[in-house]
């Protein structure tokens, strides 16, 4: 799906996650998310189509209503299935779920072909470390990621609409929270 709305962290947390991305890349496991234009993030939703011009005003209004907030990345996880995803799991808080639900009230007006994985009540908040991995690569990536000092304490500071593909990520609009 080509569009994602993502929450971005403070620079210290970003650096810690980028270090993990680099360690995975240096081990020859998958491509570098940094080289593909990604920033460490937690996706609020993913969709196949969006009226990005109209959505930008709604996103900016939403961003103004949300003050920066803390987030804890507390574990290493793997999603089942063929996608081969290794991630840092987010400790779920009532505030995070409230932000997610409030966002979806706005998002549904502009987006089509929304991924059910990000729907309210089904969402598993996470920060992807690698994707498109084989079973062997998943095991290697998890072994590397076990060396990450957890939890990573982050502050969510920005929100953005991204145009994504398996090989690239481009920012369409970005807004600071608060």
Query: 92-103, pLDDT tens digit by residue?
Result: 999 999 999 999
Local confidence band at 31 (pLDDT 50, 70, 90 cut-offs): low
Q: Is the pTM higher than 0.85?
A: yes
User: Given phi > 0 = left and psi -120 to 50 = alpha, else beta, which region is 28?
Assistant: left
87-94: long-range contacts (C-beta < 8 A, 24 or more apart)? 87/126, 87/127, 87/128, 87/129, 88/17, 88/20, 88/126, 88/127, 88/129, 88/145, 88/148, 88/150, 88/152, 89/124, 89/125, 89/126, 90/42, 90/125, 90/126, 90/127, 91/151, 92/125
On average, the pLDDT of the chain sits at 94
Local confidence band at 1 (pLDDT 50, 70, 90 cut-offs): low
Average pLDDT over residues 33-37: 81
Q: Which of 1-5, 90-94, 96-100, 130-134 has the lowest mean pLDDT?
A: 1-5
Burial of 151 (0-12, 13-18, 19+ CB in 10 A): middle
The rounded percent of the chain whose pLDDT value lies above 70 is 98
The rounded percent of the chain whose pLDDT value lies above 90 is 85
């Amino acid at each position: 799906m080509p569009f994602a709305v993502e929450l971005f962290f403070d620079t210290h947390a970003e650096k810690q996650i980028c270090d993990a991305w680099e360690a995975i890349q240096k081990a020859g496991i998958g491509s570098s998310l940094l080289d593909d234009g990604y920033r460490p993030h937690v996706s609020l939703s993913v969709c196949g189509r969006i009226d990005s011009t109209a959505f930008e005003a709604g996103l900016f209004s939403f961003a103004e209503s949300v003050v920066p907030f803390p987030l804890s990345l507390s574990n290493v996880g793997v999603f089942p299935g063929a996608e081969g995803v290794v991630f840092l799991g987010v400790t779920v808080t009532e505030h995070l779920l409230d932000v997610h639900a409030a966002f979806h009230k706005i998002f549904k007006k502009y987006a089509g072909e929304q991924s059910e994985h990000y729907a309210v009540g089904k969402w598993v908040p996470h920060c992807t470390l690698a994707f498109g991995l084989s079973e062997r690569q998943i095991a290697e990536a998890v072994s590397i990621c076990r060396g990450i000092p957890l939890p990573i304490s982050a502050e969510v500071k920005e929100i953005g609409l991204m145009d994504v593909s398996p090989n690239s990520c481009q920012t369409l609009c970005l807004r600071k929270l608060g």
